[in-house]
Amino acid sequence: MKELLGSAWLEIDLDAVKENVQNIRNWIGAQRKIMGIVKGNAYGHDAIEISKIILEHGADELAVAKIEEGLFLRRNNIKAPILVLGAPLKEQFNLYFDNQLKPTVCDLESIYRFNDIAAKLQQKIKIHLKIDTGMARLGLSVSEIKDILSNIKRMPNIIIEGVYTHFSTSDEKDKEYTYYQFRLFQRIIDLMIDSITPKPYFHAANSGAILDLPETWLDMVRPGCLIYGLYPSNEVKKNITLTPALSFKSRIAFLKVVPAESFIGYGKTFYTKRETVIATLPVGYADGYDRWLSNQGEVLIRGEKAPVIGRVCMDQMMIDVTGLGSMEVGDEVVLWGKQGGKTISVEDIAQKLNTIIDVIIHLTDKARVTKLFLKDGKPWKIKNMLGEYYCA
């Protein structure tokens, strides 16, 4: 199996994903739907495998950001309902019909266009209306709703299956703006609830709101990072037990001892003050280990933390393993994840880089970074540039 892993790989624990979804379901109850967010290749975890496991264990529907992502899932035999969260482009309207994808609609012109195409095809199309309650990204304004409702009555081929909004600060301790957004959305619900038949699904709660604001759960919730075992910030309540599903690993490719007063790496940014044992790892920023972690990152080797020294290169990086015992070429190195009793978390990496966890977990979704899926507590499947392989 080692030869298929290559020099850098992700381990994706499908058992953890399963438990996370089940815990979300237990938290929100059986009466609401779960729309699992699998955009961005399931936050870098592999949209196909994640879609399958969450649909088996608690998710009712899926959502992606771009129609291409929805088409990819359809091509890979994912048959569940899929909502495309991004605004439709004119040249792609027909693809929604051909592939049974549900569009997000943010303007009256698009509704007319979908209705016209549906009429020509002698079909009906389910759409979700996006309401802008204060993020100013996508969505109908509150003032447009009455006009939309009066026009939709003349469009028999349109089914408004859902109406939703998106909170911009639900992962922050101060919920005042989220409450403001939700009050606006409730006004929309009051306008629509008796105007649309059958009653649409109203949904608003993203991961932060799922954790902290049960009054916003409505008919359906949209967990994103929670599925993958990550809390959206350190300001939310950890009301759901989560297990991170993703680990990033490599191995030692080369060992050498350099004397004191040696420069390490590009730009001479690290200078040894003592004789130093250096392990070179065959992983770099082209694999998703950010260059800004140069001289500040840490990895786990034989259950101990070792500092990154010198600049992270495109394909390689160096770590200081002085005093950590006997090392061998081929020893496993954890870039983030657990080893022994210690952990380097995605949150640790994000904090060092002054960014959010979503950015970090997408960095490693590279063609040349192998994905090893764990299932039932053991290696199950490998996906790399050469193909897919089941583990014996």
Q: In this structure, how many other beta carbons lie within 10 angstroms of the beta carbon of residue 231?
A: 21
For 41: left if phi > 0, alpha if psi spans -120 to 50, otherwise beta; the answer is: left
Residue 43: active-site member: no
Nearest to 11 by CA among 350, 379, 274: 379
Q: Three-state SS string across 268-313, please?
A: HCEECCCCEEEEEECCCHHHCCCHHHCCCCEEEECCEEEEEECCCC
Cβ neighbours of 136 (radius 10 Å): 9
Active site residue 352: no
The gap from C-alpha 250 to its chain's centroid, in whole angstroms, comes to 22
In one letter, which amino acid is 123? Answer: Q
CA dihedral of residues 216, 53, 243, 236 (deg, nearest 10): -10
CA 354 to chain centre: 18
Catalytic residue chosen out of the listed positions 153, 237, 256, 266: 266
Catalytic residue (one of 18, 39, 126, 249): 39
SS3 109: helix
User: Rounded to whole angstroms, what are the CA distances from 273 to 259, 264, 298?
Assistant: 9, 11, 19
Provide the annotated active-site residues.
39, 266
